[in-house]
């Protein structure tokens, strides 16, 4: 069975702190894709990153970085020097199935306080 | 690129009425669109997968006669909630993939529609 676990339900940090959001996945597929989406209070899901199972290189995009470790089935997301605008719910998702549907984790609500 | 719109953004209706939600891919053709439902403070749950020109594939537990999906063109899919009841109140989100709907594709999401049934 495919599953995505985001163990952190809510995280609260003060602006400029670094924060890491955890994501652990389960799949029997040898080829799969992992995603992170941001959902601000407005509700729209914003695509952040897609990573395929064959590429374990870490990725950095500005203040965002992702650490993909197949050995531990984890795909963690770090925000460096957090800002108030980073406050949102962040979802990790696993791409699978013949029609490309996504399996979402339950999300982590990040609150960044000034 | 890869912008998806939804209309309406909010709708309030009386119990027993039907509500249609539109999902459009604005700058690309979407062979496959997905419909999700999200309850407050919960994750997204896939309702159905919609392929242009064919019948939608519904997830287990989703009533296809209750949630009618039509994907008549490569840029438009509609979800009609028939005979809506208060328990249908939720946030409905659609997404679209650039091609084929295979697991390699990134899904781009619409802004969502908040349905409130009185």
Question: Which tens digit of pLDDT belongs to each residue from B44-54?
Answer: 999 999 888 88
Distance between CA B15 and CA A54 in Å, rounded?
Answer: 49
| Tokens representing residue B34 in the block | 């997905």
Chain A residue numbers touching B97 (CB-CB < 8 A) = 100
Q: Is the peptide bond between A95 and the residue preceding it cis, with omega within 30 degrees of 0?
A: no
Given the DSSP bridges, would you call strands B90-97 and B107-109 parallel, antiparallel or unpaired?
Answer: antiparallel
The minimum CA-CA distance between B112 and chain A, rounded to whole Å, is: 6
Distances (CA, A) of B78 to B8, B48, B116: 11, 12, 18
Q: B105: pLDDT confidence band, cut at 50, 70 and 90?
A: confident
Chain A residue numbers touching B46 (CB-CB < 8 A) = 101-102
Is B74 part of the contact surface with chain A (CB cutoff 8 Å)? no
The minimum CA-CA distance between B25 and chain A, rounded to whole Å, is: 15
Point out the least confidently predicted range of A20-24, A104-108, B10-14, B105-109: B105-109
- pLDDT surpassing 60 at residue A97: no
Is B6 part of the contact surface with chain A (CB cutoff 8 Å)? no
Residue B113 contacts residue A42 (beta carbons within 8 Å): no
Cite the beta strand spans of B1-118 per DSSP E: 4-7, 10-13, 19-25, 32-38, 44-51, 57-58, 67-73, 76-81, 90-97, 107-109, 113-117
Task: Considering only the beta carbons, identify the residue of B44, B102, B108 that sits closest to A100.
Answer: B102
- pLDDT surpassing 60 at residue A73: yes
Chain B residue numbers touching A105 (CB-CB < 8 A) = 43
- pLDDT surpassing 80 at residue B101: no
Q: In 3D, which of A88, A94, A93 has the Cα closest to residue A108? A: A88
Q: What percentage of chain B has pLDDT greater than the value 90? A: 70
| Tokens representing residue A99 in the block | 């029609």
What angle (nearest 5°) sits at the alpha carbon of residue B115, between those of residues B112 and B117? 175
Interface test with B, best of A99, A103, A104, A109 (most B CBs within 10 A): A99
The minimum CA-CA distance between A87 and chain B, rounded to whole Å, is: 15
- pLDDT surpassing 90 at residue B6: yes
Closest alpha carbon within chain A to B2: A47
Interchain proximity B112–A43, CB inside 8 Å: yes
Interchain proximity B102–A99, CB inside 8 Å: yes
- pLDDT surpassing 60 at residue A90: yes
DSSP string, A41-96: TT---EEEEEEETT----EEETTEEEEEEGGGTEEEEEESS--GGG-EEEEEEEE-
């Amino acid at each position: 069975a495919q599953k995505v676990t985001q163990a952190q339900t809510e995280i609260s940090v003060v602006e400029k702190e670094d924060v890491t959001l955890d994501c652990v996945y389960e799949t029997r597929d040898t080829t799969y894709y992992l995603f992170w989406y941001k959902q601000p209070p407005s509700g729209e899901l914003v695509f952040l990153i897609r990573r395929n199972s064959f590429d374990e290189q870490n990725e950095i995009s500005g203040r965002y970085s992702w650490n993909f470790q197949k050995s531990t089935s984890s795909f963690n997301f770090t925000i460096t020097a957090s800002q108030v605008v980073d406050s949102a719910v962040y979802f990790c998702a696993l791409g699978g199935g013949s029609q490309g549907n996504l399996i979402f984790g339950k999300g982590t609500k990040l609150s960044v306080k000034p | 690129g890869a912008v998806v719109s939804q209309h309406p953004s909010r709708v309030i209706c009386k119990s027993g009425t039907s509500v249609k939600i539109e999902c459009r891919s604005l700058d690309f053709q979407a062979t496959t669109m997905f419909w999700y439902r999200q309850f407050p403070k919960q994750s997204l749950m896939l309702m159905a997968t919609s392929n242009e020109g064919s019948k939608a594939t519904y997830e287990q537990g989703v009533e296809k006669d209750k949630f009618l999906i039509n994907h008549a063109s490569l840029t438009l899919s509609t979800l009609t909630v028939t005979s809506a009841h208060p328990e249908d109140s939720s946030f409905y989100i659609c997404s679209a993939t650039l091609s084929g709907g295979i697991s390699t594709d990134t899904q781009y999401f619409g802004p969502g529609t908040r349905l409130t049934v009185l």
